Amino acid sequence: MADEEYNFTLLEQKWQRQWEKTGLVRAIRPGRPNFYSLNMYPYPSGVLHMGHVLNYTIGDVVVRYKILRGYNVLSPMGWDSFGLPAENAAIRTGVSPHDFTENNIERMRGQMRRAGWLYDWNREFATSHVDYYRWNQWFFLKLFEKGLVVKKTAPVNWCDSCQTVLANEQVKDGECERCGSSVTQKDMNQWFYRLSEYAERLLAGHDKLRGHWPDAVLAMQAEWIGKSVGAEVEFRVRETGEPLPVFTTRPDTLWGVTFMSIAPEHPLVEKLTRGSPYEREVATAVQRMRNLGTSVKELAEREKEGVFTGFHVINPVNGAEIPLWVANFALMSYGTGAVMSVPAHDQRDWEFAKKYNLPIIKVIDPPDGSGPESWTGAYVGSGAIVNSDQFSGQPDNFQAIPAIVDWLADNGKGGKRVNYRLRDWLLSRQRYWGTPIPVVYCDTCGIVPVPLKDLPVVLPTDIDFTQGQGNPLLRSPSFVNCKCPSCGKPAKRETDTMDTFVDSSWYQFRFADPHNDSLPFAGEKIAEWLPVSQYIGGIEHATMHLMYARFFTMALHDLGLLDFEEPFERLFCQGMVCKVAYRCEVCKWLPSEDVMVVQQDGKRELEPEAAEAVFKRIENQSLTPDGLAAEGLALICRRSGDPVRFEMTKISKSKLNIVDPDAMMDRYGADTVRLYVLSDSPPDRMQIWTEDGVNGSWRTINRLWRLVMDSLAKVAPVGSVVPPDLTGVDRELRRKTHQSIGRITEAIEGGYQFNTAIARINELLNFLRSSRDKANPAVLREVLEVIVITLSPIIPHFAEECWAKLGHLESVFLHTWPEFDPEAARLDSVEIPVQINGKVRERLQVPPDLAAAELERLVLENTKVQGLIAGKTLVKVVVVPGRMVNLAVR
RNA sequence: GGGGGUGUGGCGGAAUGGCAGACGCAGGGGAUUUAAAAUCCCCCGAUCAUUGAUCAUGCGGGUUCGACUCCCGCCACCCCCACCA
């Protein structure tokens, strides 16, 4: 009867229907605490990838575990459905972004249901629906009123291929995060959210998050905020008296300033040099610096370059007159756009001074007393201050900084200043498929925000995507032409749309009240569920989504819409899912079908079975490139005949090493896939996908199925009570069961260590397999139920079926997580290792609660121990009751 | 250059400062089978050896009766940021 394999196709569908029918995730059970579990919602690309599978499976285990623990759980799902891919598809194929998106959502929703993830689909929404994005406009207007929205001209990142600006956070290594083409800088008049206003609060908020968010995320955000404490110092242009303040973190080196560097874009450059003898030379140099490679990548790799302006500045601390240079390393966007240069104690200034032959003055004395003549670079360490008027002789330059800053402030030469690297959030995008920015341009009234009552500004649908270039909204007269809300004259609408990160900055709140059509959300619904108890997603959002969402929450708090400032109490970031990928020197990445295994001498191709074995070993990492060569084998590209290398890398379409979740679920069922992604590595580490591994999880499920089916005849009826005073196998089995409950619970609670939780369940299973035939029927029921319940968050369909087969009429998720009984888990005796100088020499069986003195006596009376220490001096006896004994002898 | 993280068998990984390698994958052997798959049982860090011993958690020190674990100094790899004044 138990010979059949577990029929996942039928059973998984059956239980999914059942959960939906009974509304498992919607069941609000009064008197229970609320728990809001949220997974980062996906962009509806049309297919789930393995990263989603890992992310949402972790989330689903949390949801189901919390249900079993007696919580009311909110587990919503929605769609981050604005964005470029839909628009690009429209340009390519002519299908409207709306239809493209809706079709994709349909497909992905099906895949999600099939995976068995529990979501309350009644709360589903897509951000590209006007019911959602109208609130983006509403918030924009509220924040505009509050002064948190600005339109300004600034150097922005421009992606020519996407034909839009990008936020700083969306530029990676000088390339567009989305399409990979190189990003250039240009000045544009754009909309911004004043993120930088919140720099200090965003940083301070980390105190609350520490311990609940991964350290790496907090570190990345702190770095991105880039707080640095220093001083502002009031330099002045000698020739014109114009102020030219600088920011410095090293006021202790002020007396060592030998020149001033100013950014090429600095307005003072043109203002000063216009009409001067240096005008032409400076202007050409500035042109060259600004134009020669505006790509962000080139900017970073450029060599130091500068030009003298012909002007000088006066150092307020000592009246020194120093030359003013334009330097390509000075950034207009940081500090004041001007840098005081101290070549003796700053490596960058050192290089510049050497190149242009500028003076170098030592003001910090290194311990060895050496000077710049003998240095090969700037001295950046600590030492005594020299050549610095009244501060000369201070023994430690860094300790002297506060006194110097105070002196600057007292004498009107400057003062303390905190600077942040965080810049404002560039909001506008020159694209169609996003939230229209609710603003009108009027020749008479200027920039006029759309009144709240006129919302929403609806994205028009009468667009031809296959014609023309640039933002398609410009080609929709019915959209562009409007009346000025203020004076009623003809006006033009803003055609820029919002960055999609606006959508994801507050979606976590909308899930609490998704159908509200008079407000983005009602306060009482927020109070019920928010902040999010557990948020789960990828670490790649550390400085983007997670920073914006925190900012938005703080801003909404300041608008009086929320009474908390942090949206996500706990954050968990899952690891990447990786798989081996093959790369040909000529054809780049290859699918494994295009890789041929050959014998090195003679280039003879291996038989299919032998080749498959080789691929398998490569996938398992049991065959390294060296190992392959040692066996006289080589990999060759089937297309070009060139050598092929392999590496373990993130599963991605571009590397051609994707694993299709649908295909896996066809073959093994959702539960097997769920079990596999959780069973090998801790979920925050890199996961390695192997075919053998999935198959192993499939075998595990079948072994378990047979075990449960074979036990049905022997198991006591539902509700049977385990008799007291168990002995032998029964006592052992029950002890193991309760020990397991304790350790499984600990593994889940202590940071989602599902791999160890699964290992603990396997141990219990192995033990049960060896003792089942002798077990008391009631004990057998207890252990089987513990196994089924503890596995149910991970492999829910399977667990439900077993639960039903065990005679239960209600869902396993209506039961409670098993109670750990310390009495049942208690050991009758423990084995105590006896160490001599740290090495185990003997073992004793003793009662678990034997007192230290008793244990020591037993050990010292043991004849074997006596023999081992005979003739030696007993220096120390260490007794850890219930654990071990160590004898230190000489 | 700065920050964060990780180093343990062929592989993924276990170990409140207390028996290193749980659990699983791969591998080897056996049973079953006409055969294969599946299943079940056994072995599986290294070296030496007869029961047993010695060495082993990236490297070097330290603290401790006792260190994968704590401290100091290196090395390697991964991720993030980077002309940030």
- Residue A177 φ then ψ, to 5°: -60, -30
Residue carrying structure tokens 């049960």: A768
Which two three-digit tokens encode residue A168?
Answer: 């700083």
The protein footprint on chain B, as nucleotides within 7 A of a CB, is 2-5, 10-16, 18-20, 22-27, 38-41, 53-54, 65-67, 79-85
**How many degrees, rounded to 5, is the angle at CA A278 between CA A275 and CA A281?**
115
More confident residue, A33 or A604: A33
* pLDDT in the model for residue A2: 41
| Dist. CA A737–CA A820, nearest whole Å | 9
Give the model confidence (pLDDT) of A221-243 as tens digits.
999 999 999 999 999 999 999 99
Q: Are A116 and A12 in contact (CB under 8 A)?
A: yes
pLDDT over 60 at A511, yes or no: yes
Pairing of strands A306-314, A364-365: unpaired
3-class DSSP state for residue A205? Answer: coil
Banded pLDDT at A792 (limits 50, 70, 90): very high
Q: What is the dihedral of CA A320, A326, A331, A336, to 10 degrees?
A: 40
| Dist. CA A572–CA A211, nearest whole Å | 11
Task: Name the nt closest to A336 by C-alpha to C1'.
Answer: B85
pLDDT over 90 at A464, yes or no: no
Within residues 682-711 of protein chain A, the ones with CB less than 7 A from nucleic strand B are: 682, 685-688, 690, 692-693, 695-696, 699-700, 702-703, 706
b/e per residue A380-394 (b: at least 16 CB within 10 A) = eeebbbbebeebeeb
Percentage above 70 pLDDT, chain A: 98
**All residues at 6 or more sequence positions from A239 whose CB lies less than 8 Å from its CB, including other chains:** A272, A311, A312
More confident residue, A827 or A799: A799
Distance measured from the CA of protein residue A381 to the C1' of nucleotide B74, in angstroms:
21
Within residues 82-141 of protein chain A, the ones with CB less than 7 A from nucleic strand B are: none
Q: Does residue A811 reach within 7 angstroms of strand B, measured from its CB?
A: no
**All residues at 6 or more sequence positions from A163 whose CB lies less than 8 Å from its CB, including other chains:** A430, A431, A469, A470, A471
Within residues 752-781 of protein chain A, the ones with CB less than 7 A from nucleic strand B are: 753, 755-756, 758-759, 762-763, 766, 769-770
Q: Are A816 and A70 in contact (CB under 8 A)?
A: yes
Give the model confidence (pLDDT) of A299-334 as tens digits.
555 677 888 999 999 999 999 999 999 998 888 888
Residue carrying structure tokens 């309760």: A738
Within residues 402-461 of protein chain A, the ones with CB less than 7 A from nucleic strand B are: 419, 421
Within residues 712-751 of protein chain A, the ones with CB less than 7 A from nucleic strand B are: 747
pLDDT over 50 at A484, yes or no: yes
Banded pLDDT at A3 (limits 50, 70, 90): very low
Give the model confidence (pLDDT) of A72-98 as tens digits.
999 999 999 998 888 888 888 888 999
Query: Picking from A186-190, A464-468, A618-622, which range would have the lowest pLDDT averaged per residue?
Result: A464-468
* pLDDT in the model for residue A292: 52
| Dist. CA A86–CA A463, nearest whole Å | 14
Q: ipTM for the complex?
A: 0.93
| Dist. CA A123–CA A636, nearest whole Å | 52
- Over range A167-177, report the average pLDDT: 72
Q: What's the residue count for chain A?
A: 890
Banded pLDDT at A462 (limits 50, 70, 90): confident
* pLDDT in the model for residue A291: 59
Q: Are A644 and A583 in contact (CB under 8 A)?
A: yes
pLDDT over 50 at A212, yes or no: yes
* pLDDT in the model for residue A4: 61
| Dist. CA A120–CA A26, nearest whole Å | 6
Which two three-digit tokens encode residue A276?
Answer: 């001067």
Within residues 823-862 of protein chain A, the ones with CB less than 7 A from nucleic strand B are: 831, 833, 835, 837-841, 843
Banded pLDDT at A1 (limits 50, 70, 90): very low
Residue carrying structure tokens 């994707």: A658
* pLDDT in the model for residue A823: 83
Q: Are A165 and A429 in contact (CB under 8 A)?
A: yes
Task: Name the nt closest to A305 by C-alpha to C1'.
Answer: B83
More confident residue, A136 or A475: A136
* pLDDT in the model for residue A606: 81
* pLDDT in the model for residue A101: 95
Q: Are A260 and A322 in contact (CB under 8 A)?
A: yes
- Report H helices in A811-884: 822-825, 852-861, 863-869
The Cα-based distances of A65 to A17, A814, A833 in angstroms read 20, 11, 38
pLDDT over 90 at A16, yes or no: yes
* Cis status, amide bond into A97, omega within 30 of 0: no
3-class DSSP state for residue A261? Answer: strand
Q: What do you get for the CA distance between the two ends of chain A, in Å?
A: 65
Distance measured from the CA of protein residue A170 to the C1' of nucleotide B11, in angstroms:
36
Q: What pairs with residue A150 in β-bridges? A: A192
pLDDT over 60 at A159, yes or no: yes
**All residues at 6 or more sequence positions from A620 whose CB lies less than 8 Å from its CB, including other chains:** A690, A692
Within residues 46-85 of protein chain A, the ones with CB less than 7 A from nucleic strand B are: none
| Dist. CA A103–CA A72, nearest whole Å | 32
* pLDDT in the model for residue A867: 77
Provide the 8-state DSSP code for A182: B
Task: Name the nt closest to A217 by C-alpha to C1'.
Answer: B4
The reported pTM is 0.92
Mean pLDDT over each residue of chain A, to the nearest integer: 88
> Three-class SS string for A641-672?
CCEEEEEEEECCCCCCCCCCHHHHHHHHCHHH
The Cα-based distances of A120 to A60, A117, A820 in angstroms read 12, 10, 31
pLDDT over 90 at A828, yes or no: no
Task: Name the nt closest to A328 by C-alpha to C1'.
Answer: B83
Distance measured from the CA of protein residue A750 to the C1' of nucleotide B60, in angstroms:
34
Task: Name the nt closest to A623 by C-alpha to C1'.
Answer: B10
Give the model confidence (pLDDT) of A531-568 as tens digits.
999 999 998 898 899 999 999 999 999 999 999 999 99
Within residues 528-587 of protein chain A, the ones with CB less than 7 A from nucleic strand B are: 539, 542-543
* pLDDT in the model for residue A534: 95
Within residues 289-308 of protein chain A, the ones with CB less than 7 A from nucleic strand B are: 299-300, 302-304
**All residues at 6 or more sequence positions from A727 whose CB lies less than 8 Å from its CB, including other chains:** none
Q: Are A260 and A340 in contact (CB under 8 A)?
A: yes
CA R_g for chain A: 34
